[in-house]
Amino acid sequence: MKTEDLIDMGNASLFNTYNRGEKLFVSGKGVHIKNNDGETYLDFVSGIATNILGHANETIVAAITDQAGKLMHTSNVFWNQPSIELSHKLVNYSGAGNLSKVFFSNSGAEANEGALKLARKYGKEVHGDDCTKVISLVDSFHGRTMATLSATGQTDMHQDFQPLLPGSVYVRLNDSGALKAAVDDQTCAVLFETIQGEGGINSLSGEFVETLKTLQKDKGILLIIDEVQTGMGRTGTLFSFEQFGFEPDIVTLAKGLGAGYPLGAFMATETVAGHFKPGDHGTTLGGNPLATAVGNAVFDEIFETDLLANVAERSQQLVEGLEKISEEAGGIAEIKGFGLLIGVAFTDKVQAADVLAACYEEKMLVVSAKHNVIRLLPPLNVTEAEIDEALEKFGAAVKKIVK
C-alpha cells in the first residue's frame, strides 16, 4: 500500500494527538531506519532516547523470541524469574546507593505516578496527614497522566485539563532561594530531572544540587529523581544522579530500560519502600516475564559490551564536531548536555523547527525540545563512523538554514 494511503487510513482511525508528519517507517538496523518508500535515514531520535541499542538489536530480538516461546504473562499474583533477576541487578548495581526495592511498570508516566503515590503515603505516615505537597521544576516533564501532568512544570500543558491534582508546586530550575521558600511542613518531596530533556537539556547547577541535598538531610524531604530519559547509561553512567552525588530516596526509570519494549520501574530505599503494603499499588502487565527478560538483556549488554565507555568517547566526538559546526556556520548559541543526551540551542535568528526540517532533507532524524533546542539522541552503541555521518548531515542542515 502507498504511504499516503496508509497515512490516510491512520488519520481516519487513530486519535489526532500527535503531529506525525508524512514519515512512515517500516524497518531498521542499528542507527539506521527505512521508510515505506525505501529511503534510509540516520536515526538520532532513537524513539526519543529509548532505543539505546538501536533497531533490530540481535540481543533484544533473541530475548523476546526466547521468552515469548516460554511465558509472556502471568500477572503479579505469582513470581516470575526474569523480574526477580532484573530487580536484583538494579539494586545490586554499585551506583544504586541505598535504593533496594523495585516496582516494575509499563512506562515512565506509570513509574512517576507510582513514585508520587509512594511519596504521599510516606509523607502522611511520617509527617502527618497534611504532608502531601510535591515540588517540581519549571520546564520539567514527568508524563501525561493526571498526577504526572500535575507534576509537570509546563503551564501550557495544563490549561485544558484543570483542575490538576492538588499539592503540586513549581519553582524555577536552579533557583535555590525559591526552592527553600516553597518548602513547608506540608512538603513531602521534590521531584526533578538532573537534566531536563523535553524542557531543553537544562542541567542542575552545583549550588542547586547542594540545596536539594540539604533539604533532604535537614528537613526530611524525599528526593525523587526522574531518570526516565537520563537513565540506563544515556548520560555516561547507568544513572545520571551518580554524576551529581545524590543518594535519592526514589528513582524512576523507563525508555532505555526496555530499549524499545514497554518497561518502566521505580526504585526506592528500604525505609521509603516499606510504606507500601499489599494492595497499595499494582499493575496487571508491569514486570511481566517478557518485558523483564528484555530488561535483563539490555542491562547485561550495557556492561558486557562496555557501552558506558563508548558513550563517553562518542559524546566527546559529537560535541567537538558540533563546536566545529558552530564555528563554521554560526547560528548556534550553546551546546549542552551529558553523554549522548546532547542539546543544540540556536540563536533567535535560527528556528530549531527549520533545522529539524533541514535534517529530514539530509535523511537524518532529530527531535526538538523547548527553548529553541534540537536534541541529538543516538543509541549508546553508535559508532565513530556513524557520529561522523551525523555531523556531516547535521552540519549541512545547519548551514542550509543559517546561510
Question: Known binding site for N(2)-acetyl-L-ornithine: residues?
Answer: 144, 283
- Please, what is the angle between helix 289-304 and helix 307-329, to 10°? 70
One-letter-per-residue 3-state SS of 11-66: HHHCCCCCCCCCCCEEEEEECEEEECCCCEEEECCHHHHCCCCCECCHHHHHHHHH
Hey, which bits of 250-324 come out as E strands? 250-253, 264-269
Nearest alpha carbon to residue 50 among 233, 213, 207, 320:
233
Residue list, annotated binding site for pyridoxal 5'-phosphate: 108-109, 141, 226-229, 284
CB 297: neighbour CB atoms within 10 A?
26
At 402, the amino acid letter reads: V
DSSP type of residue 255: G
Residue list, annotated binding site: 108-109, 141, 144, 226-229, 283-284
Q: In what order do the strands lie in the sheet with 99-105?
A: 99-105, 264-269, 250-253, 222-226, 187-192, 133-137, 168-171
CB 173: neighbour CB atoms within 10 A?
22
Hey, which bits of 230-297 come out as E strands? 250-253, 264-269
Q: Which residues pair with 364 in a beta bridge?
A: 42
